[in-house]
Amino acid sequence: MRWLIWAITLMLTNGSGTLASRARNTPSYGYHAVAALFSHGCFFVAQLVGLDILVEVLRTHDVALAAKAFACYALTSTTGSVLMQYFAIRFLEKGNRRVGGY
């Protein structure tokens, strides 16, 4: 269960980081503030869950577990970023929230 929770929080963390990065390139302070708050909150939760997994890797020196953790991190983080960019372009970035909308 913790792996699923970690994967979801990683997707949200990197997706929200992508959103915050895109929001910085808009003239909307509100959009940036909400995106940054979402990003920082997701990061905090992901660290709480992920730290447990990383401590287990360090404690057991289990190379297979480390590889599984890396694969989970890399795949879910990348997926979250790409999906959030699609979602932002498609649904969120209208008017002054549009990247480059100066």
Question: What is the tens place of the pLDDT at every residue in 45-58?
Answer: 999 999 999 999 99
Residue 66: phi, psi to the nearest 5?
Answer: -65, -40
Residue 93: phi, psi to the nearest 5?
Answer: -90, 85
Identify whether the C-beta of residue 23 lies closer than 8 Å to the C-beta of residue 96.
no
Check residue 25 and report its DSSP letter.
T
The closest of 53, 49, 64 to 13, measured between CA atoms, is 49
Percent of the chain with pLDDT over 90: 86
Calculate helix-pair angle for 2-24, 29-60, nearest 10 degrees: 150
Q: What is the pLDDT of residue 96?
A: 79
If you search the block for the tokens 């100066």, which residue do you land on? Answer: 102
Report pLDDT digits (tens) over 3-19. 999 999 999 999 999 99
- Whole-model pTM? 0.86
